[in-house]
């Protein structure tokens, strides 16, 4: 409670600080005058009395400053002052400011946008329960239908069934049709066909992924236990919103895909876009309908119509190598066990040589990744360079400015500004610049991200990809650029150790030689400046001794908002 | 006459005690009073009274209000608060402890 009321008093002071300063000034004046009167009554002359009073009192100006500083707002006052000064300095050299801001914005914006895209395509885990447990059979680097023997990329539906039933390493195993069916379907009651992308999946797809329905239910095993008689669909949240305007009555609506009418049984949650990054299906239909959904691929019961990805959720205690050996054992057994397997010499040799690799699919499947991973990585490298260049750019600009300001800073220091105070001022100025750049960078990032996505998509419709700006990276780039600005912005402050001496030397020699150099040393002009030179040299000798005291004076002035820069 | 500087850290104690005795005083009176009562031995560096008073205002040990002096001048009068009184006790006991300890050290033969 004590500190609270103390804070209240301090804040009160901050808001009425002019009044406070005036009060202290009046108080001190009264004190001095009373002492003076007393001395006069004791028989001193008025001048002597004033001097005596002042001697006894001490350095009134310094004490006033101390009284003001006791309230602990010095940092705040100089911060406000420095910010104002920094902004003015920025406006005074608009070219430099614009270039610096653009570098910052580009460095932060481009980096963040590209990384966010990279993240969405390559790095981010699927929004699922424990995505790290999800394993894909094969590498997932092919799609389509094949009847090749012993392919490891694609599998037939009967193979999936047996693998699911017989393996001991997955808690559940699901299948996904390797292609998305593009269908022109009808929403019941509408006469115009709409393009819909339909993803065929095994009945336990959602259960394996651990995805709960947002509305209604997801698919289940019963939807996938007999061919052709389970016309049901789970629609995506995005499609529900886009095409059905979030109709709350969605479960009573139907769709017509090809010749069959499907009941909508549920809506997937908003964050769920499927398992292929960059392809967000509008709806999921059980694989049992594979022959009914245009273009009517079929092959539900065909042992060698290989068109599916198979993924499993690893049991918690199973290692990936244990899973690999189990899956490979079964792979061989199942293929050899199919009665219609063509066990030619060639095929058997092929089977012997084939090994099913298991691929973690925490980040999902993606054809985008195949296509863009390399360009994206190159882009990322380029952008890292851009960041580096941006930083170098800012560093350069600030250094150049610091050279231009050397004199200003030297004068300040000669007047007694402490080095720390100067560094703090430069720091604040750099911070103003960096923060403005940071804000621009964030704005730039969100624009650049949209442009990039459009570039990557190529066509008219942008790829359905959730490229949200990655906060961690944004923070990182902002931190890097701001750090650069701060480090290089304060170089002049750290450099000027001897500047007080420098400036007096500078001024003395100027006074000596006049504006036209040494040749005029004996001119009347320089003789006129003789007293001035003497004065400066005196000052130079005194300077180190009094710099400390002057330092206090300087900061007092600063605190009083009176010190205007000596620029 | 030689005047001694007050020992460091005792300025608050002197001000608090002076105010406790007098009730209400402005800065000049406080300085004067300390000096008079100590028979001119203790000399507060008069100016340093004012930053100290500000710090005491922040701590809430004293409160100030403007009034008029006998000579009809505007002056800021300081007054102890409840927490100032408490602080006085703390400072006093602390001071006595230290002085007692020093005395014992000095007097031990």
Q: What is the dihedral of CA A387, A390, A392, A398, to 10 degrees?
A: -140
Are the CB atoms for A445 and A112 separated by under 8 Å?
yes
B69 to chain A: nearest residue by CA?
A30
B26:A30 CB<8 A: yes
Given a cut of 70, the residues of chain A with pLDDT beneath it are: 1, 122-127, 278, 364-373, 375-376, 456-470, 492-567
The H or E element spanning position A357 is none
**For A200, how many CA atoms within 13 A lie in the half-sphere containing its CB?**
32
Of A267, A294, A296, A298, the residue nearest A185 (C-alpha)? A294
B60 touches chain A (CB under 8 A): yes
pLDDT in tens, A409-467: 788 888 877 778 788 888 888 888 888 888 888 888 888 877 877 776 665 555 666 66
Using a CB-CB distance cutoff of 8 angstroms, which residues of chain A are in contact with residue B59? 6
Of A450, A326, A452, the residue nearest A383 (C-alpha)? A452
A37 to chain B: nearest residue by CA?
B71
pLDDT at A284: 92
A137: Cβ contacts below 8 Å, ≥ 6 apart: A152, A155, A163, A309, A310, A311, A312, A327, A356, A358
How many Cβ pairs within 8 Å bridge chains A and B? Answer: 69
B55 to chain A: nearest residue by CA?
A70
| Rounded Cα–Cα distance for residues A288 and A235 (Å) | 17
B contact test, residue of A30, A42, A556 with most B CBs within 10 A: A30
pLDDT at B77: 92
| Structural domains present in chain B | 4-107 (1.10.10.10)
pLDDT at A564: 47
**Min distance B56 CA to chain A CA atoms (Å):** 10
B83 to chain A: nearest residue by CA?
A2
B89 touches chain A (CB under 8 A): no
A34 to chain B: nearest residue by CA?
B28
A67 to chain B: nearest residue by CA?
B51
Within 13-32 of A, beta carbons closer than 8 Å to B belong to 13, 23-24, 26-28, 30-31
B85: Cβ contacts below 8 Å, ≥ 6 apart: B20
Are the CB atoms for B14 and A26 separated by under 8 Å?
no
Are the CB atoms for A305 and A145 separated by under 8 Å?
yes
B52 to chain A: nearest residue by CA?
A67
A contact test, residue of B28, B33, B72, B76 with most A CBs within 10 A: B28
Using a CB-CB distance cutoff of 8 angstroms, which residues of chain B are in contact with residue A67? 50-51, 53-54
| Rounded Cα–Cα distance for residues A290 and A181 (Å) | 10
Are the CB atoms for A327 and A236 separated by under 8 Å?
no
B40 touches chain A (CB under 8 A): no
pLDDT in tens, B77-106: 999 999 899 999 999 998 899 889 989 999
Q: Which residue from A6, A9, A27 is facing B76, i.e. has the nearest CB? A: A27
A30:B74 CB<8 A: yes
B contact test, residue of A2, A39, A70 with most B CBs within 10 A: A70
pLDDT at A58: 83
Q: A454-463, long-range: CB within 8 Å, 24+ apart, which pairs?
A: A456/A117, A456/A368, A456/A372, A463/A278, A463/A279, A463/A368
**Min distance A35 CA to chain B CA atoms (Å):** 8
B51 touches chain A (CB under 8 A): yes
B61 to chain A: nearest residue by CA?
A6
Using a CB-CB distance cutoff of 8 angstroms, which residues of chain A are in contact with residue B27? 27-28, 30-31
Of B5, B3, B9, B28, the residue nearest B18 (C-alpha)? B28
| Rounded Cα–Cα distance for residues A381 and A255 (Å) | 47
Domain locations in chain A?
2-72, 77-119+369-498, 131-362
- Local structure of residue A371 (DSSP, 8 states): H
Are the CB atoms for A149 and A351 separated by under 8 Å?
yes
**Min distance A541 CA to chain B CA atoms (Å):** 29
B26 touches chain A (CB under 8 A): yes
**For A440, how many CA atoms within 13 A lie in the half-sphere containing its CB?**
19
Q: Which residue from A9, A24, A72 is facing B50, i.e. has the nearest CB? A: A24
Sort A140 into a burial class: Cβ within 10 Å, 0-12 / 13-18 / 19+.
buried
Are the CB atoms for A228 and A285 separated by under 8 Å?
no
Q: Tokens representing A479?
A: 């931190």
Q: Where are the alpha helices (DSSP H) in A338-366?
A: 345-353
pLDDT at A299: 79
A9:B60 CB<8 A: yes
pLDDT at A513: 44
Using a CB-CB distance cutoff of 8 angstroms, which residues of chain B are in contact with residue A56? 46
Q: Which residues of A14-25 are buried (b: 16+ CB within 10 A; e: fewer)?
A: eeebeebbebbe
pLDDT in tens, B47-88: 888 888 888 888 889 988 888 888 888 889 999 999 899 999
B contact test, residue of A67, A71, A72, A74 with most B CBs within 10 A: A67
CB neighbours of residue A346 within 10 Å: 10
Using a CB-CB distance cutoff of 8 angstroms, which residues of chain B are in contact with residue A559? none
């Amino acid at each position: 409670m004590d500190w609270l009321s103390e804070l209240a008093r301090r804040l009160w002071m901050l808001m009425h600080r002019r009044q406070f300063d005036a009060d202290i000034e009046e108080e001190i004046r009264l004190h001095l005058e009373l002492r003076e009167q007393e001395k006069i009554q004791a028989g001193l002359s008025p001048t002597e009395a004033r001097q005596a009073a002042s001697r006894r009192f001490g350095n009134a100006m310094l004490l006033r400053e101390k009284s003001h500083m006791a309230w602990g707002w010095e940092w705040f006052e100089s911060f406000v002052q420095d910010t104002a000064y920094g902004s003015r300095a920025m406006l005074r050299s608009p070219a430099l400011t614009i270039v610096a801001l653009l570098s910052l914005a580009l460095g932060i914006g481009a980096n963040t946008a590209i990384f966010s895209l990279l993240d969405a395509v390559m790095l981010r885990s699927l929004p699922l329960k424990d995505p790290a447990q999800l394993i894909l059979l094969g590498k997932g680097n092919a799609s389509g239908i094949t009847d090749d023997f012993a392919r490891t990329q694609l599998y037939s539906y009967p193979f999936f069934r047996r693998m699911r039933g017989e393996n001991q390493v997955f808690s559940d195993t699901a299948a996904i049709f390797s292609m998305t069916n593009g269908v022109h379907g009808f929403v019941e009651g509408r006469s115009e066909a709409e393009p819909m992308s339909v993803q065929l999946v095994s009945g336990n797809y959602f259960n394996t992924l651990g995805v709960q329905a947002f509305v209604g239910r997801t698919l289940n095993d019963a939807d996938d236990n007999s061919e052709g008689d389970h016309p049901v669909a789970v629609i995506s949240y995005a499609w529900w919103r886009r095409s059905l305007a979030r109709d709350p009555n969605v479960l009573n609506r139907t769709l017509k895909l090809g010749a069959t009418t499907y009941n909508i049984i549920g809506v997937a949650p908003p964050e769920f876009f499927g398992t292929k990054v960059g392809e967000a299906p509008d709806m999921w239909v059980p694989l049992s309908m594979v022959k009914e959904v245009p273009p009517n691929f079929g092959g539900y019961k065909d042992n060698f119509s290989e068109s599916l990805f198979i993924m499993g959720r690893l049991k918690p205690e199973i290692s990936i190598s244990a899973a690999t050996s189990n899956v490979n054992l079964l792979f061989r057994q199942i293929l050899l066990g199919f009665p219609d397997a063509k066990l030619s010499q060639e095929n058997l040799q092929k089977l012997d040589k084939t090994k099913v690799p298991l691929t973690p699919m925490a980040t999902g499947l993606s054809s985008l990744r195949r296509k863009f991973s390399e360009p994206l990585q190159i882009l990322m490298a380029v952008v890292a360079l851009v960041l580096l260049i941006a930083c170098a750019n800012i560093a350069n600009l600030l250094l150049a400015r610091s050279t231009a300001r050397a004199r200003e800073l030297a004068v300040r220091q000669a007047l007694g500004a402490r080095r720390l105070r100067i560094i703090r001022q430069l720091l604040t100025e750099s911070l103003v610049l960096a923060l403005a750049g940071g804000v621009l960078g964030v704005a730039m990032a969100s624009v650049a991200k949209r442009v990039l996505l459009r570039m990557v998509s190529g066509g008219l419709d942008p790829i359905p990809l959730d490229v949200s700006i990655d906060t961690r990276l944004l923070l990182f780039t902002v931190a890097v650029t701001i750090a650069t600005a701060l480090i290089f912005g304060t170089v002049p402050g750290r450099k000027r150790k001897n500047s007080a001496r420098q400036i007096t030397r500078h001024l003395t020699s100027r006074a000596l030689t006049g504006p036209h150099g040494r040749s005029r040393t004996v001119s009347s002009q320089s003789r006129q400046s003789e007293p001035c030179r003497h004065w400066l040299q005196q000052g130079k000798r005194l300077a180190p001794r009094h710099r400390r005291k002057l330092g206090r004076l300087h900061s007092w002035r600063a605190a009083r908002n009176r010190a205007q820069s000596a620029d | 006459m030689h005047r001694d500087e007050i020992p460091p850290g005792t300025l608050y104690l002197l001000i608090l005690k002076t105010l406790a005795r007098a009730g209400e005083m402005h800065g000049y009176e406080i300085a004067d009073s300390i000096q008079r009562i100590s028979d001119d031995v203790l000399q507060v560096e008069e100016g340093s009274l004012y930053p100290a008073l500000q710090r005491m205002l922040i701590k809430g040990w004293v409160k100030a209000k403007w009034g008029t002096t006998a000579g009809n001048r505007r002056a800021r009068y300081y007054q102890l608060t409840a927490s100032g009184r408490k602080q006085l006790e703390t400072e006093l006991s602390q001071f006595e402890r230290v002085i007692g300890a020093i005395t014992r050290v000095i007097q031990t033969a």
